Amino acid sequence: MKFEKKRAATKQSIPTASLPDIVFMLLLFFMVTTTLREVDVLVSFRLPEAKAIEKIENKRLVSYIWIGQDGKIQVNDSLTKLEEVQKIMYAKRVSLPNVIVSLRVDKNSDMGVVTDIQQELRKASCLRINYSTLLKI
Amino acid sequence: MVQIKKRKKGEPEIPTSSMADIAFLLLLFFLVATVIDVDTGIGLTLPEFVPPEQQEVVPISKERLAAVLINENGDVLLNNEIIAIPQISKSLKPRIESKIELPGNKKLVVSVKTDRKTNYNLYIQALDQIKNAYFDVREAYSLQRFGKRLVDLDEKSDEIKEIREKIPITISIAEPEAIKK
């Protein structure tokens, strides 16, 4: 007796016609969500870790100050001196009244430089700050 | 007359078979270039700057003050007792809890003071512990009062307002000695 394999009558290929559409959809999603890095970080730093951390919801309000391992201070995209921080941050505060300053400080730095920055920020009346930390697991 | 034969044209078509490849290439680029980094950190509000001559000294009763001192060697004092950093949260919690029902001007104030030479990491660890204590108390209060976890509460709801009012986070960053003149 001869057995014959049952075959489906339909075509055995995956329809690829809509593949570009799907990919374009994904592409659009990533294009919309991407924020290309605007500034080059010129200082080297490793963030400390903490557990009780919160997210900054509104990224537009955030302005960064970096303090590196060697105590260098970077605001915006260039290294600055401590005395100039106040002027720069005051200008920022005028253009963006509820600015949040995110301090990205290397974990081995001293409190002295952090306090100095904080004093400058207080003088520039940028009072909302955020110590940038990673999540401790 | 010579009849010019019209050549029969096939239907014009754009080759779309490579479209997917192009799109994938673009997609890959954006995938690689994307940094979905969420800014996380410990939020704090600095006090307003007051020139030294206008500064007033407001006495705070010992009852409501928890002073955390961190020196340059990494030793921590909480109300004049030596304590390890991981213990701070445990030791602060009962004090925060005991003041939930008290009016706003009797709530706990945590003051953090460091030396200029104190390691930043230690300071963050201490701050983390303090925040942790507050969050734990808030969470417990929320569960007990509303039967909901803190994360499940709506940001603008009355519940969260009540929690914030009952358990405000007051952390005062004292200036190191060297700055005071």
Residue A17 has pLDDT above 70, yes or no: yes
User: Residue A23: CB partners within 8 Å, gap ≥ 6?
Assistant: B20, B23, B24, B27
- Domains of chain B and CATH, by start: 61-136 (3.30.420.270)
A60 inside domain: yes
The answer to whether residue A37 sits within a structural domain is: no
Chain A residues with CB-CB distance to B52 below 8 A: none
Question: Could you say which of B38, B121, B173 has the minimum Cβ distance to residue A107?
Answer: B121
Check residues B68 and A41 and name the one with the higher pLDDT.
Answer: B68
Could you give the ipTM of this predicted complex? Answer: 0.72
User: Where residue A26 falls among pLDDT bands split at 50, 70, 90?
Assistant: confident
pLDDT at A50: 86
- Is A75 a member of any domain? yes
Whether residue A89 lies inside any domain: the answer is yes
**pLDDT of residue B181 exceeding 60:** no
Mean pLDDT throughout A5-19? 73
Q: Do A27 and B30 touch (CB under 8 A)?
A: yes
pLDDT of residue B78: 84
Task: Give CB contacts under 8 A, 24+ apart, made by A71-75.
Answer: A71/A109, A71/A110, A71/A113, A72/A42, A72/A43, A73/A43, A73/A113, A73/A117, A74/A41, A74/A42, A74/A43
The beta-carbon neighbor of B46 closest among A24, A50, A122 is A122
Helix, strand, coil abundance in chain A, percent, nearest 5: 35, 20, 45
Show residues of chain A in contact with B40, CB under 8 Å.
53-56, 132-135
Counted domains in chain A: 1
> Looking at the predicted structure, is the pLDDT value of residue B180 above 50?
no
Domain ranges, residue A86: 49-135
Q: Pick the more confident residue, B63 or B91.
A: B91
Residue A123 resides in a domain: yes
Nearest residue of B to residue A34, measured between CA atoms: B34
| CATH number of the domain bearing residue A130 | 3.30.420.270
Mean pLDDT of A55-78: 83
Which residue carries 């002073």 as its tokens? B67
Among B135, B116, B130, B132, which Cα is nearest to B175's? Answer: B116
User: Does the residue A84 lie in any domain?
Assistant: yes
Q: Using the predicted structure, report yes or no on whether residue B115 has a pLDDT greater than 80.
A: yes
Mean pLDDT within B124-143: 88
A113 belongs to a structural domain: yes
Q: Report the range out of B48-62, B112-126, B150-164 with the highest average pLDDT.
A: B112-126
CB contact under 8 A, A119 and B49: yes
Residue A69 forms contact with B (CB below 8 Å): no
Residue A64 lies in a domain: yes
For B70, the token pair is: 């961190």
Q: Which residue has the higher pLDDT, A120 or B156?
A: A120
Which pLDDT score, from 0 to 100, does residue A38 have?
66
- Alpha carbons B115 and B178: distance in angstroms, whole number: 8
